[in-house]
Structures are given as structure tokens and as C-alpha cells.
Chains A and B, each alone.
Chain A
Amino acid sequence: MTTTTLQRQQETTFETERAYGARRVLGGIIPYILLTISIIPIVVGYLWVIIATFSIRTRGLLPVDATGNIGGFTLQNWSFLGDAEIWRATLNTFLVAIGMVIGVGFVSTLTGYALSRMNFPGRKAFLGMTLILHAFRPELLLIAIFHVLLFIAGVPLIGRGFGFNTVGGVAVVMISLELPLGIWLMKGFFDNIPWDIERAALIDGASRFRVWWEIIIPQIRPGIAALAIFSFITGWNAYLIPFTFTLGSKVATLPVFLNRFSGDTSLHGWNQVAAIGLFQLIPVLIFFIFTQEALLNIYSGGTKGGT
């Protein structure tokens, strides 16, 4: 009697497991299918860009030549590399991006530390203001920024490099717009460091500044790296601010330069636009591939340590 019941029990369990098993396998595949489907448009888009840069024309994803035959491979889309314009634009973009890394990094780490560790009048108000400022869209501020840049242009000495229609001016504006986020992030990272480590360093004999530089900063290196990468990419890809506050091609950045080619008055085709676009993409892509891990840390506020 018991054996039959046991057998029946085992059979039912086996069937349930089989049903579960099948569902499990299916359940495992479905996310992959969904993800692949959602990625296809992006992949196809990039694929087109790469193919287009090396063809005279394209039909769908296939390279064709002027008469419509398959196989119009050419390097003429890349001829812009020979002109000085593109390289000047690259330099300008690079200056803006690096300027952002240094500017945002420097100010954010110092401010974040002060907000996290020091008690001063107006601290709470400052903190709240940082959050509000972050919500402001740059589009709202364009006119105001224009006036500010004009004013700076009138200031002796630095006016020439940081006023309207200068790379310096663009960099300063970009930095200012990025600072609220940078400060908030840095404060968060500093908040995660236990107070005891600072106290120990103060007792050991370090000055406040030394504590900040030798003890605390090394703890949040991943956070600083993440902020640096983020700032670099934002600066490199910036379009609205450089476009609004520069005229002509001497001070243009790559996105602005690119825009010039895709307008109605442009003499060049989409293939060349694709080439310039790809050219702009490459440094960031390389940068990102190498620093991807550090960037992920920006949301975990990570510190690793013995305590």
C-alpha cells in the first residue's frame, strides 16, 4: 500500500518538475530574445554608419556606387581628414572635454568634501540649491549665459580666452552646468567614508588638507574616475552650448562641425556625414571600453577597504 502511494507521489513530483523544467528553459530564453530584438535597431544603425563611410552610396545595408551597382567601395568619404579644419575641431573638442574633467573634478571634490564634513552657515541651503540647479535645462539659460559671456569678454586679461566665441568660454559654461551633478555625486562618495578614518589621521598628525588628499581621496578613486569619464564624454559630445556660443569654424567643436555638413546648404552627402560622425565617435568608444568598469561604480558609490 505504502509503496504504491509513494510511487504515485514520486510520479507527480517528477511531472511537476518536468513542467517546471520546460518553463524554466523557456523562461531563460525569452529575456535573451527580447533583448536581442530591442538591440537590433541600434546595431543596424551603427552597421549602416560603418558601411556608409566606405561606400559611395548605400541601398539599405549594401554598398553601391553612383550607378547603382553593388560594391562602390571608396575612401573618398574620409578625405576630410586631410583638411586642417577637422583637426582644429578635434583639438577644440578635446580641450573642452579635458577642461571639463579638470574643472568639474577639482571643484566637485573640494566642494563635496566641505559639504560632507564641515559645518558652516548656509550648508543646508547650498545643498538644496545644488539639487535645484541640476534640474535646470541649459536651454532655459541660453540668453542669460550669452550675457554672462559678453561680460566676461570685457574683463581684462582673461576676457580674450573665456568670452563669447571662445573655446574657453564654452568650457567654462559646460563646467558650470555639470557642477551640480558632480558636487552631489562627490558628496555622496564622501558620506560613505567612515568618520573614524579621518579622526585617526587627525590624531596621527595630519592637517585637514592632508587628510583630504592622502587619506580620503584614495578611498573614492573609483568615484572620481567615474566622474572624470562622465565629464569627458559629456564635454566631447556637447552640442547645444558650443553651437550657441561659437561662430565660425576656428572655435567649432566636432559636433558643431558635423552639424554643418548635414544642413540644407551642405554640398556633401550623407556618407561623408557618417564618416565624420564615426570619426567623432572613435575616441570616446575607445575611452569607454577601457573605463567601463569604473563608470559602473558611479551608482554604487563604491569603496573597498579593510574597515
Chain B
Amino acid sequence: MKVELIDLTKQWGTVVGADSINLDIEDGEFVAFLGPSGCGKTTTLLMTAGIYKPTRGEIRFDGRIVNHVPPKDRNIGMVFQSYALYPHMSVFQNISYPLKLKRTPMEAMRKQTQRVANLMGIDQLMDRKPAQLSGGQQQRVALGRALVKEPQLLLFDEPLSNLDARLRLSMRSEIKRLQFELEITSIYVTHDQVEAMTMADRIAVMKDGKLQAYAPPDDLYNKPRTLFVAGFVGNPPMNFLNVEIVRENGMYQAHGKGINLVVPAERGEKAVGKGQILMGIRPEDVTIAGDGVSGEIYVVEPLGRDDLIDVKIADVEIHMLVDPTLGVKMGDNVRLKFNTNKVQFFDPETEQSLLWD
């Protein structure tokens, strides 16, 4: 089912939860709403579900306006952060509840519930009450309940936040695989950019109620259109340095405190002559080399696969990821090489990217 959000706004008095959200979701697509707490992602999700009534704007399912359609007639399934299972009902009753409300005959109800339970791997828990299940099991029951009526749209509200880290990893891939096989259009709300990056076909990044960017994960990572997106997506986050781009000797150079770098022409020409701008470089794009920008190692954080190093250039700190076998220590003076092919430039006032629009 194709979903379109047109100019969608939710306002309570003077508080604006969601401000003119415009995006469309293709049939079978997995879209993530990503952003910090209070950015409006859950508000938008609940409007799509029909729980909140939009103040302005339209929601269309397959071209049909559904603003006034109650949740039960929207053919959707939703998984909540708190699972929202019915505590007084057994697992079987929880999963089959949507079917019971549709007055499905007992036999068909039992078969369908069994099928979904098998899919979720919880068919041996049918008689238990939610209080007798672990967090992961409860999550599967919630997912089963959302899927049992074979909805056309699946909504997730930070479903993995209450699970431990290990379980989160396995559930992440399970959900992604499930969505791939069932081909149900899905919207996944999260504040965890790793979840969004790993699971979604496209990510809608939101901040303060507004849509900042809406693109596939790689696009957001390599071509961020705003400062916020650049700093929010990617872990460890992007480094930002104050520089000025000038043209010297036919080459574009970035001049900053303790920094003198040559940048590629196609990037440099977009940022030249704009005064002080922000240069963004990701930690993995900075390496320790024979010569280059000089810096002092401030903190070394071993991550096993890499070392996360805090390096001071003049009085500015940047993060970089290095090979742990290099054996760098705190206090070492090193020389840094920047992969300038990956550098990003931003206007410090508008916070827009100078490279992409």
C-alpha cells in the first residue's frame, strides 16, 4: 500500500508537534522516522495510525484520503515500545484478538494464530500470560498480534528500545527479514541511527517537528544536506572544523587553526569565497600518516576492532578511528592525513550543505 503524507501538521495550542510533513512511501517499502526525542516522529506515526487527528494536511492510503477513518478501519498493525500486550489475556488470546474483533470463525482464527505464532517462534507459549514471558518473547507476541490480520501497513514505535543490546541485534535482522518476505509497507520510528541505517530503505530524519532529510541510508551518510543530518547519522559522529576555502596556485585550500589542506576542485569550488564555513570529516576518513596536519593524542578509547582516538589540533578536538595495531598512546604527537574526497562543507548560518541540495 502506498502512503502519502501531505503537509501533515499536528498542533496543540501553541505547541507544534509536527510541522508540514511531506513524504511518500512506496508499496512494500521500509521507511524509518529518525530523530532525537521530541522531534515529532511518534506524533507523525500516531497520525498515520489514526490515533491522533491531524490539525492540517492529508494522509492518503493508495490515493484515498483517510484523515477521518478510525484506526480499526485502516487495516494497519502496530508494535509499541512497551509491547502493550493485554495482561489479562493469554498469548493466544492476545494474538487472536484482532481476528476475534473481526468475528472470524473459531477454526480459521486458530489456524491463522498458529501460523503467525510459528512464524514468530512462540508457538510453545500460547497458554502463557504476558507477565510470564521475557522481554523478547513479549515483543514477538506484539509483532504477531500486529501481523495476524495481514495488515497493509505495519507501524513500529521504537519496538527494540526496551530490549537488551544482544537481543536488539537479533530482532533487528529478524524484523528486516520478515518485512522483506512479507512485503508489507512499514514505518519504523526510532532515535537510534544504527537501527534506521541497518533496516530502512529510506530514512526520514526529523528535528523539532520538521522533516530535515528523506533519503536512502547511503545518501544520508555520504551526501548529508544539513548540518544536523551530517552530525546525527553515523557513529562515531562527524567532526566539524572552522575553515575558510581559498584558491591558491590553481588549487583549492582549506585554511583553519593548525589546518592547511588541499581539497578536490569539485568540492572546493562550491565553498570558495564564502568566508568562515564548517568543514565536516568523518572519523574513519582521518588517518595517521608520515606527514600532514599536526596533532596531539588526547584520549585513546579501544573498541577492539578500532581505536577511537581524540586528537587535539591547535585547540580543537576531533575524533578518528585508527588501526589498533598501531599502538598509539595518549600524549603522542602525530601527523594526520585527511581523505579530502569525503569532506563536507556547510554554511554555519543556514546549516545547509554547500555541496548538495
Contact = CB atoms under 8 A, between A and B. Distances in A.
B57 to A, nearest CB: 21
B88 A305 contact: yes
B80 to A, nearest CB: 5
Contacts of B81: 196
A205 B72 contact: yes
A199 B80 contact: yes
A306 interface: yes
A205 to B, nearest CB: 4
Interface string A271-307: 0000000000000000000000000000000011111
B88 A200 contact: no
Contact of B84 (A199, A218, A219, A303): A199
A206 B87 contact: no
Contacts of A133: none
A206 B98 CA distance: 8
Contact of B130 (A203, A219, A303, A306): A306
A197 interface: yes
Contacts of A205: 72, 98, 101-102, 149
Contacts, number: 79
Interface string A171-197: 000000000000000000000001011
B72 A219 contact: no
A215 B84 CA distance: 11
A215 B145 CA distance: 15
Contact of A304 (B76, B131, B138): B131
Interface SS, A side: helix
B167 to A, nearest CB: 17
B16 interface: no
A207 to B, nearest CB: 7
Nearest to B131: A306
B78 A199 contact: yes
B330 interface: no
Contacts of A196: 80-82, 84
B251 interface: no
A210 B132 CA distance: 25
B65 interface: no
B83 A307 contact: yes
Given A203-B71, A203-B78, A306-B138, A197 B84 contact: yes
B280 interface: no
B85 A307 contact: yes
Contacts of B85: 197, 200, 306-307
Interface in A136-175: none
B307 to A, nearest CB: 42
Given A203-B71, A204-B72, A215 B86 contact: yes
B86 to A, nearest CB: 6
19 contacts: A197-B85, A199-B46, A199-B51, A199-B71, A199-B78, A200-B84, A200-B86, A200-B145, A203-B49, A203-B72, A203-B74, A203-B76, A205-B101, A205-B149, A304-B87, A306-B133, A307-B83, A307-B84, A307-B85
Interface of A: 194, 196-197, 199-207, 210, 215, 218-219, 303-307
Given A199-B51, A199-B71, A202-B51, 11 more contacts: A199-B49, A203-B51, A204-B98, A204-B101, A210-B101, A219-B88, A305-B88, A306-B87, A306-B130, A307-B84, A307-B130
- What are the 4 A-B residue pairs with the smallest beta carbon separation, nearest first? A306-B130, A305-B87, A196-B84, A205-B101
